[in-house]
Structure 1
Amino acid sequence: MTENQHVERIGRKLDKMVQKNNTDGALDLLRELKTITMSLETLQSTRVGMSVNAVRKQSSDQEVQTLAKTLIKSWKKLIDDYKTFGADCSLLAAQIEERSQIFEDFKSTDIKYKARLRSRISNLKDQKNPDLRRNVLSGNISTQRIASMTSEEMASEELKKIRETLTQESIREHQLSKVGGSKTDMFVCKNCRGKNCTYTQVQTRSADEPMTTFVVCNDCGKRWKFC
């Protein structure tokens, strides 16, 4: 059974409930619909939204009404996105996973694979980061690009500014004092070739990114950093 046929079957059952003025069992059907990743094509061809709305109006069950409203709201957003950007979000989601070769990067659906997918989803859903969603829907950011972007690159402009401020503050604190630094001979100063150095590590980026290491040569005072 195809996705369209599955949704059509549920829609017919809901229509029959409305005709018989008996919505018993509607909640189970709505829950079944909620598990389906609805595409714009399926939504338009099956017209299941009308069936769900009819059940919502007729049912006196608060849980049925609430779930029906939730489904209709999510589907309306799908249509609005298409009207605004000409993009099918479900299709885009599939393209991000398939065309970008996320699976190929990890060769399995392990925790790293799931973490990368979740990070895309959370950033695209972030209401404080509308620019990322808008750029992906409009095609300014390709599906290949969004799949490989780092947390820093996906961040909203507001968050980027906050991170930049924290980075600059960390750098200033490091330059003003070496308190808490550790002496080491692991690094070679490119200026004097000495190994008498002190280093500190600061989390200047997101938590899932490597720390930034600041190094100062105790002999000539040269400073450098790396991630």
Structure 2
Amino acid sequence: MEYMDLQEITRYATRIEKLHKDGNYEDISSLLTDLCNTTVVLSQLQNTAIVQTLCQLVKSCPVAAVRKTAKDLLSKWKQHPHTGNILEPDNVNQELTSQASGFSVASGHYNGEEDSGSTNLRAKCVELLLRALTPDQEADVEATTQLSTLAHTIEKHIHALHSQNQLKYKSCVRSKLANLKNPKSPHLRQGLLTGALPPEVFARMSSKEMAGEELQQLREGYTAAGISEHQLPCGPGGMRTTKVRCRRCEAMDCTVTQVCRGTNTDEEVVTFVTCAGCGEQWYHSRWVCL
């Protein structure tokens, strides 16, 4: 039998997953045949997602022949001496259940402590992140493998930040997806692909930090306009009159305002006068200047 290296096994897992989503089961059957004629070792099963991919194929593939081939392949790996006891359960159905709920999405390693609900959620988030990182659906296998690794890494850091709060975890993932898909924020995807933006930094970024330059400038403009609007001096209220002369500038353009000193309308009111020209203010109590 032929031997495949770790990278080639990873490519097979990625291709099978993509073909399964596309519903192309003829090509999947061909890939499974190649895997049947290949000898695998324990490290390849531990460090790739091939077992998880085949388990999902057995669970959801509508083609009986493909399901049987994948199931037989898992049984073969369980009995093969090179794989040790990685597939230890006595029947394949038990194996499918344990593997589907026990493989960590972020690392591809078996982790029996994670429940199936959390694992399925994380797997879905990785899939959505991969789609957001792959605008070109016709990307080659090598590029898809790299993007898949990047999506897993981003999800792992997001989960590490919000592992105790599922609502915050979902909200963070939605925010990352929206900004990656935003055509006005191409710098995020470009930075992740080139390595200029590390995945752990991207996982911690807020919506404000992920915004593109255009949106940041727009926000700054709104903020500056709001500050200016609140800092504009308010014009004096009251009734305009030309019968009062300002003793500072001697202008005859003033505003008269009457304010009650208390809550009772019968109480004495105070008459305030403001000059529209120089801003001088005084009130009618022997015309004391303010």
Taking structure 1 as the reference length, the TM-score comes to: 0.43
Q: Give the TM-score normalised by structure 2.
A: 0.35
Determine which structure has more spread, i.e. the larger CA radius of gyration. 2
